[in-house]
Amino acid sequence: MNIQKYVPLAPLTTLGVGGSARFFVEVKTEKDIEEAVSYARAHGLAIYPIGAGSNILVPDEGVDGLVMKIAMHDIELHDAADETFLIAGAGARWEDVVNLAVEHGLYGIENLAGIPGTVGGAAVQNIGAYGAEFGSVFEYADVFNILTGVFERIAHTQASFAYRTSFFKEHRELVVVRVTLRLVKNAAPNISYSDLKRAQLEGIPLATPMQIAEAVRSIRAQKFPKNAEGGTAGSFFKNPIITHELADDIAKLFPDVPMFPQKEGMIKIPLAWLLDHVLALKGFSNGNVRLYEKHPLIIIARSGSRAIEVDTLAHEVAQRVFATTTICIEREVETFSGR
């Protein structure tokens, strides 16, 4: 185990901003995790697990603790009768997992193609896109409990997946080590999401998991910035889920607002729509950072940006949304607490 000091974190995140980790370690095995956690305990350090750094904002002052890069990359398939279990280390790239699944004609995660990040991040965040969610294929996860120093298994029933959250997000003492997904050999393609319906009308083939994954990647390519434009962390905010009453009030003011009914009478509103059609904030900027012109839920940080510029822009956007709609928006991207 090689504990390093003052490691710059910006290159380890997709936003590409922020300071250094006071301590940093890459963990490749269960034993490495145990040793890293013992080290952190012995030195009184907070632990910050990271995967591909695709959903974090590192503060400019850096992180006073031990940043633990999860680097278990193994992926295996275990065949059963009608289903196949895919077992992946938390540090495996999500795209590698999707590719392996669709190459074997397995259904379940093809709509989640093209999402940056790792398997561990996918579980914590319950990633979702194009009508699919990670939680729906999750079987169980093996985790390491930092507080007790013991490995545990968290089953689907315990995992509490909801929109961009999970038991793992609520219980930061659990480090996801390995995840088992249940994929199926036969299923009806899930092409209910509007962008996929449109692709179908255009005659794009959507009959196999591989074809769906390719279609999703090409839709994403039109919406998500290429690297050259700067760093991003995908959607910076969550779509707000609001009461029926508030949604009705908003619809009186903005009759075209799209609404997606959720559980218990709640309504999900696409924030990108509000930012675009109500607040006209596409391209809205603060110094080096801006809301992407093609999709204003995404913040783009040009090379050399500071975390404070991202933070200030995000605050300003949240204030404007509140002033116009009384909706309190939440960030999807997590900020590592500073020194």
Rounded CA-CA distance 325/278 in Å is: 9
Q: What is the dihedral of CA 288, 223, 126, 9, to 10 degrees?
A: -30
What's the closest the beta carbon of residue 99 comes to ligand EPU, in angstroms? 18
- Report the DSSP beta bridge partners of residue 272: none
What's the closest the beta carbon of residue 303 comes to ligand EPU, in angstroms? 21
> Is 64 in contact with 338 (CB distance < 8 Å)?
yes
Nearer to ligand EPU, 17 or 87 (CB): 17
Nearer to ligand EPU, 139 or 276 (CB): 276
Residue 302 annotated as catalytic? no
What's the closest the beta carbon of residue 133 comes to ligand EPU, in angstroms? 10
Q: Footprint of ligand EPU on this chain (CB under 6 A)?
A: 129-130, 223, 234-235, 238-239, 258, 270, 272-273, 276-277, 295-297, 332
Residue 332 annotated as catalytic? yes
> Is 239 in contact with 339 (CB distance < 8 Å)?
no
Nearer to ligand EPU, 62 or 231 (CB): 231
Nearer to ligand EPU, 186 or 227 (CB): 227
Rounded CA-CA distance 264/62 in Å is: 41
Q: Is 268 left (phi over 0), alpha (psi -120 to 50) or beta?
A: beta
Residue 235 annotated as catalytic? yes
Name residue 198's amino acid: R
List strand residue ranges (DSSP E) for 71-173, in order: 75-79, 83-89, 128-129, 132-133, 138-145, 150-155
List strand residue ranges (DSSP E) for 3-53, in order: 4-8, 20-27, 47-50
- The number of C-alpha atoms within 13 Å of 333 and in the hemisphere containing its C-beta is 26
Nearer to ligand EPU, 85 or 163 (CB): 163
Rounded CA-CA distance 225/299 in Å is: 10
> Is 321 in contact with 246 (CB distance < 8 Å)?
no
Catalytic one among 20, 166, 235, 305? 235
Q: What is the CA radius of gyration of the chain?
A: 20
Rounded CA-CA distance 179/45 in Å is: 27
What's the closest the beta carbon of residue 316 comes to ligand EPU, in angstroms? 18
> Is 205 in contact with 117 (CB distance < 8 Å)?
no
Nearer to ligand EPU, 47 or 297 (CB): 297
**Position of minimal CB gap to ligand EPU:** 234
Instruction: Say how many C-beta atoms besides its own lie within 10 A of residue 208's C-beta.
Output: 14
Nearer to ligand EPU, 178 or 295 (CB): 295
What's the closest the beta carbon of residue 119 comes to ligand EPU, in angstroms? 16
Name residue 318's amino acid: A
Mind telling me the catalytic residues?
164, 235, 332
